[in-house]
Protein backbone atom coordinates (compact mmCIF):
# COMPACT_ATOMS: atom_id res chain seq x y z
CA UNK A 1 0.00 0.00 0.00
CA UNK A 2 2.75 2.50 0.93
CA UNK A 3 5.21 1.56 -1.79
CA UNK A 4 3.93 4.01 -4.45
CA UNK A 5 4.13 6.92 -2.00
CA UNK A 6 7.60 5.93 -0.82
CA UNK A 7 8.69 5.65 -4.43
CA UNK A 8 7.33 9.14 -5.20
CA UNK A 9 9.12 10.62 -2.19
CA UNK A 10 12.36 8.98 -3.29
CA UNK A 11 12.04 10.37 -6.81
CA UNK A 12 11.26 13.83 -5.43
CA UNK A 13 14.43 13.81 -3.31
CA UNK A 14 16.48 12.71 -6.29
CA UNK A 15 15.02 15.54 -8.39
CA UNK A 16 15.74 18.15 -5.75
CA UNK A 17 19.35 17.09 -5.56
CA UNK A 18 19.64 17.17 -9.33
CA UNK A 19 19.44 20.96 -9.53
CA UNK A 20 22.70 22.90 -9.85
CA UNK A 21 23.77 24.87 -6.75
CA UNK A 22 22.62 28.23 -8.18
CA UNK A 23 19.15 27.03 -9.22
CA UNK A 24 16.28 28.84 -7.44
CA UNK A 25 15.06 25.54 -5.97
CA UNK A 26 18.26 25.25 -3.93
CA UNK A 27 17.64 28.65 -2.28
CA UNK A 28 14.34 29.50 -0.69
CA UNK A 29 12.56 31.29 2.12
CA UNK A 30 14.09 34.72 1.58
CA UNK A 31 12.44 38.11 1.10
CA UNK A 32 13.76 40.67 -1.36
CA UNK A 33 13.55 44.46 -1.46
CA UNK A 34 14.21 46.18 -4.78
CA UNK A 35 14.73 49.95 -4.78
CA UNK A 36 13.99 51.39 -8.23
CA UNK A 37 14.72 54.86 -9.57
CA UNK A 38 14.14 56.44 -12.96
CA UNK A 39 17.32 55.60 -14.81
CA UNK A 40 20.66 56.70 -16.10
CA UNK A 41 22.84 56.31 -19.18
CA UNK A 42 25.94 54.14 -18.88
CA UNK A 43 28.03 57.01 -20.21
CA UNK A 44 27.60 60.56 -21.49
CA UNK A 45 28.98 59.80 -24.96
CA UNK A 46 26.65 59.96 -27.96
CA UNK A 47 26.19 56.18 -28.28
CA UNK A 48 25.19 55.63 -24.65
CA UNK A 49 23.01 58.73 -24.58
CA UNK A 50 21.17 57.66 -27.72
CA UNK A 51 20.52 54.21 -26.29
CA UNK A 52 19.23 55.62 -23.02
CA UNK A 53 17.05 58.29 -24.61
CA UNK A 54 15.55 55.82 -27.04
CA UNK A 55 14.45 53.51 -24.22
CA UNK A 56 13.13 56.41 -22.14
CA UNK A 57 11.31 58.26 -24.91
CA UNK A 58 9.86 55.07 -26.38
CA UNK A 59 7.90 54.37 -23.20
CA UNK A 60 4.20 54.88 -23.88
CA UNK A 61 3.72 55.94 -20.27
CA UNK A 62 6.18 58.80 -20.77
CA UNK A 63 5.13 59.89 -24.25
CA UNK A 64 1.44 59.35 -24.95
CA UNK A 65 1.55 61.00 -28.39
CA UNK A 66 0.25 58.55 -31.04
CA UNK A 67 3.08 56.50 -32.53
CA UNK A 68 2.25 57.58 -36.07
CA UNK A 69 3.21 61.14 -35.00
CA UNK A 70 5.84 60.48 -32.36
CA UNK A 71 7.92 57.77 -34.04
CA UNK A 72 9.15 59.88 -36.98
CA UNK A 73 9.98 62.75 -34.61
CA UNK A 74 11.85 60.50 -32.19
CA UNK A 75 13.85 58.49 -34.72
CA UNK A 76 14.23 61.17 -37.37
CA UNK A 77 15.04 64.25 -35.31
CA UNK A 78 15.30 63.82 -31.53
CA UNK A 79 17.64 60.81 -31.43
CA UNK A 80 19.92 62.51 -33.96
CA UNK A 81 20.15 65.83 -32.15
CA UNK A 82 19.43 65.44 -28.44
CA UNK A 83 22.10 62.84 -27.45
CA UNK A 84 24.93 65.32 -27.93
CA UNK A 85 23.18 68.07 -25.97
CA UNK A 86 22.04 65.76 -23.16
CA UNK A 87 25.48 64.16 -23.05
CA UNK A 88 27.11 67.52 -22.43
CA UNK A 89 24.68 68.17 -19.56
CA UNK A 90 25.41 64.79 -18.01
CA UNK A 91 29.14 65.41 -18.39
CA UNK A 92 28.79 68.54 -16.23
CA UNK A 93 27.53 66.51 -13.24
CA UNK A 94 29.20 63.14 -13.92
CA UNK A 95 30.76 61.22 -11.04
CA UNK A 96 34.17 60.87 -12.65
CA UNK A 97 35.62 58.82 -9.82
CA UNK A 98 33.10 56.02 -10.33
CA UNK A 99 32.43 56.84 -13.99
CA UNK A 100 28.68 57.02 -13.47
CA UNK A 101 25.86 59.48 -12.95
CA UNK A 102 25.10 60.71 -9.42
CA UNK A 103 21.71 59.00 -9.53
CA UNK A 104 23.37 55.60 -9.89
CA UNK A 105 25.84 56.45 -7.10
CA UNK A 106 23.09 57.50 -4.70
CA UNK A 107 20.71 54.64 -5.51
CA UNK A 108 23.41 52.02 -5.01
CA UNK A 109 24.36 53.64 -1.70
CA UNK A 110 20.73 53.71 -0.58
CA UNK A 111 20.42 49.97 -1.21
CA UNK A 112 23.71 49.15 0.50
CA UNK A 113 22.88 51.26 3.55
CA UNK A 114 19.38 49.80 3.78
CA UNK A 115 20.83 46.29 3.76
CA UNK A 116 23.20 47.24 6.58
CA UNK A 117 20.45 48.90 8.60
CA UNK A 118 18.21 45.84 8.32
CA UNK A 119 21.01 43.33 8.69
CA UNK A 120 19.37 41.74 11.73
CA UNK A 121 16.84 40.16 9.36
CA UNK A 122 18.79 37.17 8.19
CA UNK A 123 16.56 36.21 5.26
CA UNK A 124 16.35 39.69 3.72
CA UNK A 125 18.11 40.62 0.46
CA UNK A 126 18.23 44.26 -0.69
CA UNK A 127 19.00 45.25 -4.27
CA UNK A 128 18.49 48.19 -6.63
CA UNK A 129 17.57 48.81 -10.26
CA UNK A 130 16.74 51.47 -12.82
CA UNK A 131 13.62 51.71 -14.94
CA UNK A 132 15.70 52.85 -17.91
CA UNK A 133 19.28 51.77 -18.38
CA UNK A 134 21.25 49.48 -16.08
CA UNK A 135 20.86 47.55 -13.92
CA UNK A 136 17.46 46.69 -15.37
CA UNK A 137 14.46 45.74 -13.26
CA UNK A 138 14.22 42.32 -14.91
CA UNK A 139 17.88 41.48 -14.26
CA UNK A 140 17.64 42.31 -10.56
CA UNK A 141 14.33 40.50 -10.07
CA UNK A 142 15.95 37.41 -11.56
CA UNK A 143 18.97 37.90 -9.31
CA UNK A 144 16.74 38.14 -6.23
CA UNK A 145 14.84 35.04 -7.27
CA UNK A 146 18.10 33.18 -7.84
CA UNK A 147 19.16 34.05 -4.28
CA UNK A 148 16.01 32.41 -2.94
CA UNK A 149 13.62 35.35 -2.64
CA UNK A 150 10.11 33.94 -2.76
CA UNK A 151 8.60 37.31 -1.82
CA UNK A 152 9.74 40.66 -3.19
CA UNK A 153 8.87 44.27 -2.29
CA UNK A 154 9.43 46.63 -5.22
CA UNK A 155 9.92 50.24 -4.09
CA UNK A 156 9.57 52.90 -6.83
CA UNK A 157 11.46 55.82 -5.32
CA UNK A 158 8.87 58.45 -6.25
CA UNK A 159 7.05 60.18 -3.38
CA UNK A 160 4.22 61.35 -5.66
CA UNK A 161 2.47 58.96 -8.04
CA UNK A 162 2.51 59.58 -11.77
CA UNK A 163 1.75 57.19 -14.58
CA UNK A 164 5.06 58.19 -16.18
CA UNK A 165 7.06 57.22 -13.07
CA UNK A 166 5.50 54.86 -10.52
CA UNK A 167 3.21 53.12 -12.99
CA UNK A 168 5.90 52.44 -15.55
CA UNK A 169 8.15 50.88 -12.87
CA UNK A 170 5.28 48.58 -11.96
CA UNK A 171 4.61 47.85 -15.65
CA UNK A 172 8.20 46.70 -16.16
CA UNK A 173 8.11 44.67 -12.97
CA UNK A 174 4.97 42.82 -14.03
CA UNK A 175 6.39 42.25 -17.51
CA UNK A 176 9.41 40.56 -15.95
CA UNK A 177 7.24 38.38 -13.74
CA UNK A 178 5.19 37.28 -16.74
CA UNK A 179 8.30 35.59 -18.15
CA UNK A 180 9.04 33.61 -14.99
CA UNK A 181 8.03 29.99 -14.62
CA UNK A 182 8.41 30.21 -10.84
CA UNK A 183 6.98 33.62 -9.98
CA UNK A 184 7.67 35.18 -6.55
CA UNK A 185 4.93 36.91 -4.57
CA UNK A 186 5.08 40.66 -5.05
CA UNK A 187 4.26 43.88 -3.25
CA UNK A 188 4.72 47.36 -4.69
CA UNK A 189 5.20 50.37 -2.43
CA UNK A 190 2.49 53.03 -2.86
CA UNK A 191 3.27 56.75 -3.13
CA UNK A 192 4.33 58.33 0.14
CA UNK A 193 3.69 62.01 -0.63
CA UNK A 194 1.78 62.55 2.62
CA UNK A 195 3.60 60.08 4.85
CA UNK A 196 4.50 61.77 8.17
CA UNK A 197 7.98 60.20 7.97
CA UNK A 198 8.51 61.78 4.54
CA UNK A 199 7.34 65.22 5.66
CA UNK A 200 9.52 64.97 8.77
CA UNK A 201 12.56 63.97 6.69
CA UNK A 202 12.02 66.86 4.26
CA UNK A 203 11.57 69.33 7.08
CA UNK A 204 14.69 68.21 8.95
CA UNK A 205 16.80 68.31 5.78
CA UNK A 206 15.60 71.78 4.81
CA UNK A 207 16.01 73.13 8.34
CA UNK A 208 19.60 71.87 8.58
CA UNK A 209 20.51 73.32 5.19
CA UNK A 210 19.00 76.75 5.87
CA UNK A 211 20.66 76.93 9.28
CA UNK A 212 24.07 76.60 7.65
CA UNK A 213 23.54 79.52 5.24
CA UNK A 214 24.90 83.02 5.73
CA UNK A 215 21.59 84.45 4.50
CA UNK A 216 17.87 83.94 5.00
CA UNK A 217 15.89 83.20 1.83
CA UNK A 218 12.92 85.44 1.13
CA UNK A 219 11.15 82.54 -0.57
CA UNK A 220 11.53 78.78 -0.77
CA UNK A 221 10.46 77.13 -4.01
CA UNK A 222 9.38 73.49 -4.02
CA UNK A 223 10.13 72.49 -7.59
CA UNK A 224 8.56 69.24 -8.82
CA UNK A 225 9.16 67.50 -12.12
CA UNK A 226 6.39 68.49 -14.49
CA UNK A 227 4.03 66.38 -16.59
CA UNK A 228 1.95 67.47 -19.58
CA UNK A 229 -1.31 69.10 -18.49
CA UNK A 230 -3.18 66.62 -20.68
CA UNK A 231 -2.02 63.78 -18.41
CA UNK A 232 -3.51 65.61 -15.44
CA UNK A 233 -6.73 66.18 -17.38
CA UNK A 234 -6.95 62.43 -17.99
CA UNK A 235 -6.92 61.78 -14.26
CA UNK A 236 -3.29 61.53 -13.18
CA UNK A 237 -3.18 62.41 -9.43
CA UNK A 238 0.38 63.73 -9.55
CA UNK A 239 -0.45 67.45 -9.41
CA UNK A 240 -2.72 67.03 -6.40
CA UNK A 241 -0.17 64.94 -4.54
CA UNK A 242 2.58 67.50 -5.16
CA UNK A 243 0.45 70.30 -3.78
CA UNK A 244 -0.48 68.19 -0.77
CA UNK A 245 3.19 67.56 -0.05
CA UNK A 246 3.84 71.30 -0.13
CA UNK A 247 0.87 72.05 2.11
CA UNK A 248 1.89 69.45 4.69
CA UNK A 249 5.49 70.66 4.60
CA UNK A 250 4.44 74.29 5.12
CA UNK A 251 2.20 73.31 8.03
CA UNK A 252 4.90 71.12 9.56
CA UNK A 253 7.48 73.92 9.36
CA UNK A 254 5.10 76.68 10.44
CA UNK A 255 5.96 78.89 7.48
CA UNK A 256 3.71 81.88 6.70
CA UNK A 257 1.52 81.90 3.60
CA UNK A 258 3.46 82.95 0.53
CA UNK A 259 6.86 81.80 1.72
CA UNK A 260 6.74 78.36 0.09
CA UNK A 261 5.90 78.34 -3.63
CA UNK A 262 5.16 75.17 -5.63
CA UNK A 263 6.36 75.05 -9.24
CA UNK A 264 7.04 72.51 -12.00
CA UNK A 265 10.19 72.03 -14.05
CA UNK A 266 11.71 70.01 -16.91
CA UNK A 267 9.01 70.54 -19.53
CA UNK A 268 9.69 69.07 -22.94
CA UNK A 269 8.18 69.90 -26.32
CA UNK A 270 5.51 72.42 -27.32
CA UNK A 271 2.64 71.00 -25.24
CA UNK A 272 1.42 72.85 -22.14
CA UNK A 273 2.71 71.33 -18.90
CA UNK A 274 1.71 71.79 -15.27
CA UNK A 275 2.15 75.38 -14.14
CA UNK A 276 3.55 77.55 -12.72
CA UNK A 277 6.86 76.80 -14.40
CA UNK A 278 9.95 76.87 -12.18
CA UNK A 279 12.16 78.88 -14.53
CA UNK A 280 9.51 81.50 -15.24
CA UNK A 281 8.69 81.84 -11.53
CA UNK A 282 12.35 82.34 -10.58
CA UNK A 283 12.76 84.90 -13.35
CA UNK A 284 9.66 86.79 -12.19
CA UNK A 285 10.70 86.81 -8.54
CA UNK A 286 14.12 88.21 -9.38
CA UNK A 287 12.65 90.90 -11.62
CA UNK A 288 10.20 91.86 -8.86
CA UNK A 289 13.04 92.41 -6.39
CA UNK A 290 13.62 89.09 -4.63
CA UNK A 291 17.32 88.91 -3.80
CA UNK A 292 17.60 85.71 -1.77
CA UNK A 293 16.06 82.43 -2.90
CA UNK A 294 16.17 78.72 -2.00
CA UNK A 295 14.92 75.80 -4.11
CA UNK A 296 14.19 72.26 -2.97
CA UNK A 297 13.06 69.24 -5.04
CA UNK A 298 10.62 67.22 -2.90
CA UNK A 299 9.67 64.91 -5.78
CA UNK A 300 13.15 63.44 -6.21
CA UNK A 301 14.55 60.80 -3.87
CA UNK A 302 18.09 61.49 -5.08
CA UNK A 303 19.92 64.26 -6.86
CA UNK A 304 20.20 63.81 -10.61
CA UNK A 305 20.44 65.79 -13.85
CA UNK A 306 17.18 67.62 -13.19
CA UNK A 307 18.30 68.87 -9.78
CA UNK A 308 22.06 69.29 -10.10
CA UNK A 309 22.26 70.70 -13.62
CA UNK A 310 18.81 72.18 -14.22
CA UNK A 311 18.11 73.71 -10.81
CA UNK A 312 21.55 74.31 -9.32
CA UNK A 313 22.90 75.29 -12.73
CA UNK A 314 20.39 76.74 -15.18
CA UNK A 315 17.81 78.07 -12.72
CA UNK A 316 20.50 79.53 -10.47
CA UNK A 317 21.88 81.36 -13.50
CA UNK A 318 18.46 82.71 -14.47
CA UNK A 319 17.92 84.06 -10.97
CA UNK A 320 21.27 85.87 -10.89
CA UNK A 321 20.92 87.20 -14.44
CA UNK A 322 17.57 88.76 -13.59
CA UNK A 323 18.73 90.61 -10.49
CA UNK A 324 18.89 87.97 -7.77
CA UNK A 325 21.91 87.92 -5.49
CA UNK A 326 21.94 84.81 -3.30
CA UNK A 327 20.67 81.40 -4.40
CA UNK A 328 20.84 77.98 -2.77
CA UNK A 329 19.74 74.56 -3.91
CA UNK A 330 18.78 72.26 -1.06
CA UNK A 331 20.01 68.73 -1.85
CA UNK A 332 17.57 65.86 -2.13
CA UNK A 333 17.34 63.40 0.74
CA UNK A 334 19.78 61.13 -1.11
CA UNK A 335 21.60 58.65 1.13
CA UNK A 336 21.86 61.08 4.05
CA UNK A 337 20.54 60.25 7.50
CA UNK A 338 17.08 61.72 6.92
CA UNK A 339 16.70 60.00 3.58
CA UNK A 340 17.78 56.61 4.88
CA UNK A 341 15.55 56.90 7.95
CA UNK A 342 12.63 57.49 5.58
CA UNK A 343 13.44 54.59 3.26
CA UNK A 344 13.91 52.23 6.21
CA UNK A 345 10.64 53.33 7.79
CA UNK A 346 8.67 52.73 4.60
CA UNK A 347 10.32 49.38 3.86
CA UNK A 348 9.82 48.01 7.37
CA UNK A 349 6.15 48.94 7.16
CA UNK A 350 5.71 47.30 3.77
CA UNK A 351 7.39 44.11 5.01
CA UNK A 352 4.91 43.61 7.86
CA UNK A 353 3.53 40.10 7.74
CA UNK A 354 6.47 38.89 5.65
CA UNK A 355 9.24 39.49 8.18
- pLDDT digits 0-9 by tens, 68-101: 999 999 999 999 999 999 999 999 999 999 999 9
The verdict on 187 and 213 lying in the same domain is: no
Q: CA distances (Å), 49 to each of 81, 134, 243, in order? A: 11, 13, 33
* Same domain (yes/no): 173, 204: no
Clarify whether residues 176 and 252 are in a common domain. Answer: no
pLDDT digits (tens, 9 = 90+) for 96-131: 999 999 999 999 999 999 999 999 998 999 999 999
Residue 27 banded pLDDT, cuts 50, 70, 90: confident
- The whole-number pLDDT of residue 18 equals 44
pLDDT at 6: 41
- pTM across the whole model: 0.91
Give residue-wise pLDDT tens across range 50-70: 999 999 999 999 999 999 999
- Check whether residue 34 and residue 164 sit in a common domain: yes
Residues 325, 229 share a domain: yes
Q: How confident is the model at residue 25 (pLDDT cuts 50, 70, 90)?
A: low
Q: Are 30 and 147 in contact (CB under 8 A)?
A: yes
Q: What is the pLDDT of residue 55?
A: 97
- In Å, the largest CA–CA distance within the chain is 94
Q: Is 25 a member of any domain?
A: no
Q: Are residue 106 and residue 204 in the same domain, yes or no?
A: no
Q: Both 44 and 131 in a single domain?
A: yes
Q: How confident is the model at residue 252 (pLDDT cuts 50, 70, 90)?
A: very high
**Same domain assignment for residues 124 and 206:** no
> For 49-136, where are the E strands, in sequence order?
124-133
Q: Is the residue at 6 inside a domain?
A: no
**Other CB atoms within 10 A of residue 338 CB:** 20
In a domain, 24, yes or no: no
Nearby residues of 336 by Cβ (< 8 Å), 6 or more positions away: 205
325-339 pLDDT tens trace: 999 999 999 999 999
Q: Are 37 and 172 in contact (CB under 8 A)?
A: no
Do 200 and 247 fall into the same domain?
yes
136 contacts: CB under 8 Å, gap ≥ 6: 129, 130
Domain hosting residue 255, numbered range: 196-330
Residue 300 lies in a domain: yes
The candidate with the shortest Cα–Cα distance to 274, out of 215, 233, 319, is 233
Which domain CATH number covers 105? 3.40.50.1400
User: Residue 159: pLDDT above 90?
Assistant: yes
Say yes or no: 145 and 207 in one domain. no
Note the pLDDT of residue 26. 56
Considering the domain architecture, whether residues 135 and 203 belong to the same structural domain is answered as no
How does pLDDT run across 260-286, given as a tens digit for each residue?
A: 999 999 998 889 999 999 999 999 999
Which pLDDT score, from 0 to 100, does residue 23 have? 54
| Residue 4 predicted with pLDDT over 60 | no
Count of domains in the chain? 2
Between CA 9 and CA 13 the distance in angstroms is: 6
Do 79 and 219 lie in one domain? The reply is no
Amino acid sequence: MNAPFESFAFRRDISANAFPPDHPKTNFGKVGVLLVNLGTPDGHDKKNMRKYLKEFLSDRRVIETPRIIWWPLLNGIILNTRPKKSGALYASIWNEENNESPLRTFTRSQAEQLGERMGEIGNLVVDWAMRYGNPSIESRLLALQKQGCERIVVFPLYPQYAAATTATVNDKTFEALMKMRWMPALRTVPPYHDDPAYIEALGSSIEAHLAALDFEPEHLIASYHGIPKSYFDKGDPYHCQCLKTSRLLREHMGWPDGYLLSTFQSRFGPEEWLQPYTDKTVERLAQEGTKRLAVVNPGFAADCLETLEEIDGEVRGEFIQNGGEKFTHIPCLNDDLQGMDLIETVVRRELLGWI
